[in-house]
Amino acid sequence: MDISGYIEHTFLKPDASRQQIEQICAEAIKYKFAGVCIPPYFVRFARQLLNNTHVRLVTVVGFPLGYTIVNAKVEETRKALDEGVDEIDMVMNIAALKAGDIKPFVEDIESVATLCRLKAKTIKVILETNLLSDDEIKKACEISATIGVDYVKTCTGFFGGVQLAHVELMKSVLPEKVKIKASGGIRDRQFALALIEAGAKRLGTSSGVDLILQK
């Protein structure tokens, strides 16, 4: 199976350089990956590299902890959209969900999703599944689906990698129109294939080239 179209070539290290971003973009073009996921600081630079290519430009908002105030997330999103990003991966407010503060939790996602819709851009919500109970994962998926996000994403990778059981759980809750992005610790081709089989439509990984070259 050709998995190149599932891969978001990801590079979110705090010491990222322009040379590394340039390499990530070049590899995504060469291997026909779905997209690149890079820090907001490099969006304008990467946009120039990816113009007139098939590769989607993705960046993160509220990353990696998610408890940034809503206005800050909105401003991050607005700037990224203005600089030419195609997709936003926002970290939901994990603390609000776990505290049962549903109104601010919903407002957080809705505010960013509304901006993305106005620009006809893709919005993904990062759950951080390894910090959540199964019931919290279900609740976050249900709320995200009701708001109308495009994808729900498993993890940032900062608190452990994606678990197959979490993707299966998300798939069981989400309507067909809301896709799943699996991310965090995807370094093995067989694991990548298992995630796709479980329902993942995107794979966020810094090991995209290795996955393609593995037999």
How remote is the C-alpha of 190 from its chain's centroid?
A: 21
Determine contact, residues 164/184, Cβ cutoff 8 Å. no
How is residue 179 written in tokens? 């896709």
Q: Which residue has the tokens 């105030």?
A: 69
- 101 catalytic residue (yes or no): no
Burial (0-12, 13-18, 19+ Cβ within 10 Å), 164: middle
Reply yes or no on whether 13 is catalytic.
Answer: no
Q: Which member of 73, 124, 153, 179 is catalytic?
A: 153
- Cβ proximity of 91 and 62 under 8 Å: yes
Q: Which of 73, 121, 179, 181 is catalytic?
A: 181
Are 181 and 157 contacting, i.e. CB atoms less than 8 angstroms apart? no
Q: How far is CA 125 from the centre of its chain?
A: 7
Name the 3-class secondary structure at 151: strand
139 is catalytic: no
Q: Which of 89, 108, 124, 179 is catalytic?
A: 89
Q: Which positions ≥6 away from 118 have C-beta within 8 Å?
A: none
Helices (H), the chain: 18-31, 43-50, 70-82, 94-99, 102-118, 134-147, 164-173, 189-198, 208-213
Q: Are 94 and 121 in contact (CB under 8 A)?
A: no
The residues carrying an active-site annotation are 89, 153, 181
